[in-house]
A and B are shown apart, each in its own frame.
Chain A
Amino acid sequence: MHTGVVPFCLIVLLAVSLRAQDVQPVLNRYCVTCHNASQRAGNLDLRAPGDQRELWEKVLDKLSTGRMPPPGVEKPQPAEAQSVIAWIEKRYPAGAPDPGRVTARRLNRVEYNNTIRDLLGVDLKPADDFPVDDSGYGFDNIGDVLSVSPMLMEKYMAAARRVAQVAVFGESYPARPGALTRLLAKRSAEGGGILSNANYLPYSMRGALYGAYRFPVDGEYEFRVRVANFRGQDEDDLTPEDRERYRKLRASVRGRPLTAAEIQAFNEEVRKHVPPRKVVFSIDDAPVLTAVVEGTTTFDYDRGEFVTRVPVKAGERRLRASYPELAGLDDPRQNVNRDQRRKLFVDYLDIIGPFQPSKEPPASYRRIFVCGHAPGLHRAACARTVVERLARRAWRRPVTEADFSGLISLVNTVMTDGQPLEQAVRAALQAILASPHFLFRIESDAGEGTVAPVSEHELASRLSYFLWASMPDDELLDAALNKPGVLEAEVRRMLKDRRSGALIDNFAAQWLQLRNLDRSRPDPKRYPTVDDELVDAMRRETFLFMEAMLREDRSLLDLLDAPFTFVNGPLAKHYGIPGITGEEFRRVELNGAERGGLLSQGAILTVSSYSTRTSPVMRGKWVLENLLGTPPPAAPPDVPQLDESRIGSAASLRQQMEQHRQNPACAVCHTQMDAIGFSLESYDASGAWRTHDGKFPIDTSGVMPDGTAFSGVGDLKRILRGQSAAFTRNIVEKTMTYALGRGLELTDRPAVERIARKVAEDNHRFSTLVLEIARSAPFRMRRGEGGGRQ
């Protein structure tokens, strides 16, 4: 290749001279404060960039879309920006369109569980035992980082064995009814309570016990709800007033027979102070037991078990035993004694059964044995039909004879051993589920460098794992997706389907970092009214809010400031929203300035805080990174971090930050992050509204580096709305990364731009975002890769 060297060098020299004259001063003025060798924001050093196409295309991308410099930072004049854009475009003309390629990816944990559920109708969730999936680009469905280890393969084998067994023969259960489990909740906000090493359910200051249990078979089950209390056991548990009342009552009745009227008066007096409390036990939100716990003359409550026996369908059911009236307490500490033990609580829930278990084969049985013969009456010829259908659905494509011969010979081996057809199908199903055809989503290549549409079946899987995080259903698998209008119709149908909820609990939960909520839950000492139940309620709020976005096909910009949310009694109390009691979530319209949009939701405010305090820096960073897609660079290790721990006591946070920013290396990024973060200071680290931090009044005003002044969350939302192009573009990029299962490349830029434009033109509708991604070249096509063919 010697001949090519000389002209190539000439071009570079020419380019370098151009760059030095026209481009570098602009970069020096507006970019290098963050994009230098030590900060390397976005992994870019722009002080003396060489001839690197990728780097320059990145610059072009950010500059031409107005996302860099980030909001509030001094921006180049249009002419200056244009000169850089023009230079890059001339220097690196766009190449041929390239849809990119997705690395073969194995199903991740969520996809595995969902696929098993939709394939066989068994909700065993075997992948909950798999190791956590590594993530890349913020998502855990990125083929490049999803690896297979021997340990994972063992788990795949064990899961396939168990799933096949349960799908064909049903879950095993005791021959005679017996104690199946005891559900226990944590007894304090810290740690596991008095027992250790058990599988504890969340801690509720209001005494609730809730969790899920997988019932092995349709049948009747007995539930024993043990209610307990710690009030009256100990003198200290009574308030001085109650103690005095108790003393007087006792004195008034001591040593003489009481009249009926006196007894009644006595009881009424007691009831005023220990009112009867309702206990409700529900399965999948349907109450199956309601009882009343009476107060006693010692100012505590009856204890004991409430027992009920009800029919339950096989599968995982949500169980909840609680005191709904306590959801209306102004402060959950009203149910907690001074020694931290709760006054009223559900101690445990015993499940006993199954009584009269169904003798019918499990529902999955009928899905598998499609020939329709009764159990025991199968014909050998059916094996082929049954296994072929299973393989086709599990592998999400038609099965070839080569794929099939191994399965059939396995079936034959088992039957030759004298086993019934069910055993043979079970073994074949295990093999189907352990096969790379099931575990991986592999697309065929059209040859090195060749760009070609993926097949209709591959496209069906791309759609279903994007929208449902699960396998395609029969309709999708059979759809002629390449015919005009079919893809659009399928996308709309799929969005309406319940399974599209995966876009929320899988995509949105990762995008918004809600999966980290458990790691950042507020410290119980500093936030004594925040228990596990409230944190779960916060998560639920954001999920319901996102679901409303999806189901109502709202504008993406509503994420910033929609005037409604979803709360239950405890969360409403936490937020200070009046008039909401009870445990059920309901939609509330918001008209005040305090709440509305993602940025005022507890889950978001908590996940962007330390467990013990707020951090304007973290919140500012959260907004820049997740809403605008412009993450600030990390602080260099030798720069001391801001001391946020003494805020509220020593100096105010703001005073400290002002000092901090006097360091010019920190100032440019911090001015922006801090200003955004300060505007959210009205919310504490658990998302509650506050006016003071310690003894210092909250000041939410801020000034961006470019001089834009603003104050409070309302102004922040307005500023973000003003950045709707960057906001939309960021959502497109995040959604696209998730949809494709790979990091975006510069070659995806035209597609991303087009989608962002379409979305903006269509009132930022959520469905347009999804539809345009599904239509885009990177989603429908792939480039072949060579180098490995045999």
Chain B
Amino acid sequence: MTGRSLPRRTILRGLGATVALPLLDAMTPVFAPPARKGKAPCRMAFIYAPNGKQMDHWTPRGAGERLLAADLPRISQAIAPYVNDVVMFSGLTHNNGRALGDGPGDHGRAGASYLTGVHPRKTYGKDIQAGISVDQVAAQRIGGLTRFASLELGCEEGIQGGNCDNGYSCAYSNSISWRTPSAPLPPEIRPRAVFERLFGDAAADPALRKYERSILDLVLSDAHRLKANLGATDRRKLDEYMFSVRDIEKRITAAEQRIVEIPAAARSLATAVPGDFTEHASLMFDLMTLAFQTDTTRIITLMLGIEQSNRAYREIGISESHHGLTHHRGEPEKIESCVRINRYHMDQFAGFLAKLKATPDGDGTLLDHSMIVYGCGLSDPNRHEHHNLPVVLAGRGNGAIQPGRHVRYGKETPMANLFVTMLDTMGVPVESLGDSSGKLEQLAGL
């Protein structure tokens, strides 16, 4: 029982009303540093900030490889305190996000190709198909080492109904993680739900959970019998179900060994999605930090917004739709609004880096033992460009990465090459991913 150190008390709880919970501060004492032999594990996270970037305000000025705070324009200035913890890339491309004969739909393709490197099938729904995303490739190989193979989080609810992007199902822009080419993993957007999922509901009556395992066995055998009589398409749906049941079965054992008593802290987190973006993102980053710190998972994706997001960022005084603004016709006011939204997203990311850097982990910090990719599947959103994508890689990847640089790759270098290289660092080498053509050679420096 590691959880006893947090007193069973209400943290900042009013009558029904709550104020923002400094979740990280509240939870950190609950966990003793994980007892570990040998090296700290490497973690990976992918943070999606939708609708491209105003690249003039993103790309570091200066021709040198050394990344200098003074060279960072307005958007990337957000991470100036961390220039020595990040690599910025230029030149990476997702060719499979392009039309390639499929006509309009760049947002749908940007979302679906982002972590898969695959050209998604153009469909409103039938035979939906992208590819297995990089996070899920890793999760399938090393996910068994942690209680959760991976986490998929978001700060914006997916679009429902209507037509998402010119003949592309909303599934393509609502999720970036794909467990199989036909099974996107929708993100959880409620911080409270993430919290309960990670740390359990210790208040729940253990008697209620007593027969959980028998129930899982039972429904699994239901699925087996059912599946025997189905055609190929229906069997695929049952396979998703069975995979998920088995995934829970694995976790039950782990959960029995590790009950953290934190009901009061959990209760003081509102059940709804916070209305304020800063607060929402900050809670998600707290939870990600906690999940890494406790080695509950090593793989996380977070969508700050869905691709083609129409969110209006009233928090920073912008009442027009983000996507609408990106088609700015060169108007300075609209470009300015886009720059501010890009910067606002990046400010949240910088907050995450601060948390990771401040969290001790083994012989260093969490940031030392992480690879955090921040970026988007579009570069210039006005022209829907899929080349020279905005990409930052933060962390040292347990020494595999030499940060503090701006690395420029040749035109059309597949973005998927970065993922192949990262999978190497995670200890799960693959031959290829999506349209990768090899590895990125310069991550560890020249």
- Most interface-central of B16, B186, B247 (chain A CB within 10 A): B16
Give the residues from 518 to 538 in chain A that come closer than 8 angstroms, CB to CB, to chain B.
Answer: 519-520, 523, 525-526
Question: How many chain B residues touch the partner (CB < 8 A)?
Answer: 106
B256 lies within 8 A of chain A by Cβ: no
- Of the listed stretches B311-319, B359-367, B390-398, B401-409, chain A binds B311-319
Using known A-B contacts A132-B186, A151-B185, A196-B276, determine if residue A610 contacts B160 with beta carbons closer than 8 Å: no
Spot the interface stretch: A60-68, A381-389, A400-408: A400-408
A784 contacts across to B, CB distance below 8 A: 231
| Contact A786–B231 (Cβ < 8 Å) | yes
Per-residue contact bits, chain A 59-85, to B (CB 8 Å; 1 contact, 0 not): 000000000000000000000000000
Q: Closest Cβ of chain B: how far from A625's Cβ, in Å?
A: 7
Report how far A626 CA is from B297 CA in the complex, Å.
44
In the complex, per-residue mask of A486-521: 1 if CB is within 8 Å of any chain B CB, else 0: 000000000000000000000001110101100110
Asked whether B81 is an interface residue with its Cβ less than 8 Å from the other chain, the reply is no
Contacts of B21 in A (CB 8 A): 197
Which residues of B lie under 8 Å from residue A434 when comparing CB positions?
215-216, 219
Does A591 sit within 8 A of B, measured CB to CB? no
Q: Which of B41-49, B125-133, B341-349, B438-446 contacts A (4 or more CB under 8 A)?
A: B125-133
Partner of B125, one of A190, A196, A743: A743
State which residues 471-488 of A face B: CB under 8 Å. Answer: none
Report the bound CA distance from A380 to B274 in whole Å. Answer: 49
Contact flag A135-B161 (CB < 8 Å), given A149-B186, A402-B225, A436-B219: yes
Cβ contacts under 8 Å, A199 to chain B: 270-272
Any A CB within 8 A of the CB of B332: no
- In the bound complex, what is the Cα–Cα distance between A103 and B103 (angstroms)? 28
Against A, the Cβ 8 Å flags (1 = close, 0 = not) of B163-190 are: 1001101110011000100111111111
- Whether the Cβ atoms of B124 and A133 lie closer than 8 Å is no
Q: Is the CB of B160 within 8 A of A444?
A: no
Residue from B212, B228, B237 having most chain A Cβ neighbours under 10 A: B237
Q: Is A445's CB under 8 angstroms from B231's CB?
A: yes
**Nearest chain B CB to A267's CB is how many angstroms away?**
36
Assess whether A747 is interfacial by the CB under 8 Å rule: no
Q: Are A198 and B247 in contact (CB under 8 A)?
A: no
**Residues of A contacting B334 with CB < 8 Å?**
645
**Do the beta carbons of B160 and A510 come within 8 Å of each other?**
yes
Contact with B along A22-41 (1 / 0, CB 8 A): 00000000000000011110
Q: Flag if B160 contacts A515 (CB, 8 Å).
A: yes
Q: Using Cβ atoms and an 8 Å threshold, which residues of chain B touch A430?
A: 211, 215
Which residues of A186-219 have CB atoms within 8 Å of chain B's CB atoms? 190-192, 195-200
Q: Check B238 against A135 for contact (C-beta < 8 Å).
A: no
Q: Are B128 and A136 in contact (CB under 8 A)?
A: yes
- Return chain B residues, CB-CB under 8 Å to A52: none
With A413-B211, A611-B321, A790-B228 as contacts: A134 and B171 at CB distance below 8 Å: yes
A552→B353 CA distance, assembly (Å): 60
Tell me which residues from 435 to 454 in chain A have a Cβ below 8 Å from any Cβ of chain B.
435-437, 439-440, 442, 444-445, 448
Q: Closest chain B residue to A128 by CB distance? A: B271
Interface mask (A777-790 → B, CB under 8 Å = 1, otherwise 0): 00000001111111
Chain A stretch 315-362: residues in CB contact (< 8 A) with chain B: 350
Report the bound CA distance from A30 to B270 in whole Å. 57
Residue of B nearest to A638 (CB): B383
Chain A residue with Cβ nearest B215: A431
Q: From A140-148, A280-288, A672-680, A701-709, give the one contacting chain B.
A: A140-148
Residues on the A chain within 8 Å of B15, using CB: 179, 182, 350
Q: Is B206 an interface residue (CB 8 A)?
A: no
Q: In chain B between 181 and 210, which residues have their CB closer than 8 angstroms to a CB of chain A?
A: 182-190, 193, 197, 207-209
B272 adjacent to A444 (CB under 8 Å): no
A435 adjacent to B218 (CB under 8 Å): yes
Q: Using CB atoms, name the residue of chain B closest to A522.
A: B319
Contact of A136 among B125, B186, B270 (CB under 8 A): B125
Shortest C-beta distance, B70 to chain A (Å), equals 34
* CA of A151 to CA of B175, assembled, Å: 14
Q: Interface residue tally of chain A, by bracket?
A: 35 or more
Residues of A within 8 A of B127 (CB): 144
- Interface stretch, picked from A152-160, A268-276, A564-572, is A152-160
Taken residue by residue from 226 to 246, chain B's Cβ proximity to chain A (1 for < 8 Å, 0 otherwise) reads as 111111111101101101110
Let me know if B20 and A436 touch, CB within 8 A.
Answer: no
Q: How many inter-chain residue pairs (CB < 8 Å) link A and B?
A: 313
B28 at the interface (CB under 8 A from A): no
Asked whether A440 and B247 contact (CB < 8 A) given A134-B174, A197-B18, A611-B320, the answer is no
Interface residue SS majority, chain B: loop
Residue of B whose beta carbon sits closest to that of A790 = B228
CB distance from A90 to the nearest CB of B (A): 28
Q: How far is the CA of A427 from the CA of B214 in the complex (A)?
A: 9
Q: Pick the contact of B226 from A148, A437, A635, A640 — CB < 8 Å?
A: A437
**Is the CB–CB distance between A145 and B169 below 8 Å?**
yes
- State whether B162 touches A136 (Cβ < 8 A): no
CB–CB B18/A104 < 8 A: no
Q: Report the separation of the CA atoms of residues A199 and B226 in the bound assembly, to the nearest whole angstrom.
A: 41
**Bound Cα distance A611, B319 (Å):** 8
| Other-chain contact of A39, B103, B157, B184, B324 (Cβ < 8 Å) | B103
- Among A196, A410, A442, A743, the most chain B Cβ lie within 10 Å of the Cβ of A196
Asked if A149 and B240 make an inter-chain contact with CB atoms under 8 angstroms apart, the answer reads yes
**B400 CB within 8 Å of chain A:** no
A789 to B231, CA, bound (A): 6
- Chain A, 628-658, contact with B by CB distance < 8 Å: what is the 0/1 string? 0001011111101101010000000000000
Q: Which of B13-46 contact A (CB under 8 A)?
A: 15-21
Chain B residues positioned under 8 Å from A427 (CB to CB): 211, 214-215
Q: When the two chains form their complex, are residues B221 and A131 in contact, meaning their CB atoms are under 8 A apart?
A: no
* A residues near B126, Cβ cutoff 8 Å: 136, 144, 742-743
Q: Is A612 an interface residue (CB 8 A)?
A: yes
B12 closest partner in A (C-beta): A197
Tell me if B102 is interfacial: C-beta within 8 Å of chain A: yes
User: In the docked arrangement, what's the CA distance between A410 and B207, Å?
Assistant: 15
Most chain A C-beta atoms within 10 Å of own C-beta, residue among B127, B169, B179, B209: B169
Given contacts A142-B125, A427-B211, A510-B161, contact A191 B314 (CB under 8 A): yes
Chain B, range 245-303, C-beta contacts under 8 Å to A: 245, 247-248, 269-272, 274-276, 279
Choose from A165, A183, A445, A513 the contact partner of B229 (Cβ within 8 Å).
Answer: A445
**In the bound complex, CA of A103 to CA of B232 (Å):** 10
Q: A190-B314, A510-B160, A516-B161 are in contact. Are A610 and B320 (CB under 8 A)?
A: yes
- Kindly list 7 other residue pairs between chains A and B, CB separation below 8 angstroms, not including A516-B160, A637-B104, A637-B384: A138-B162, A140-B161, A191-B276, A197-B20, A198-B18, A511-B161, A786-B232
7 interchain residue pairs of minimum CB distance = A136-B125, A40-B103, A785-B231, A182-B16, A153-B244, A788-B232, A787-B232
Binding site for A on B (CB under 8 A): 15-21, 101-106, 122-128, 149, 152, 157-163, 166-167, 169-171, 174-175, 179, 182-190, 193, 197, 207-209, 211-212, 214-216, 218-219, 221-223, 225-235, 237-238, 240-241, 243-245, 247-248, 269-272, 274-276, 279, 310-312, 314-315, 319-321, 324, 327, 329-331, 334, 382-384
**What are 11 of the A-B contact pairs (CB < 8 Å)?**
A40-B104, A131-B158, A135-B125, A135-B161, A135-B169, A136-B171, A153-B244, A195-B19, A410-B215, A516-B160, A634-B105
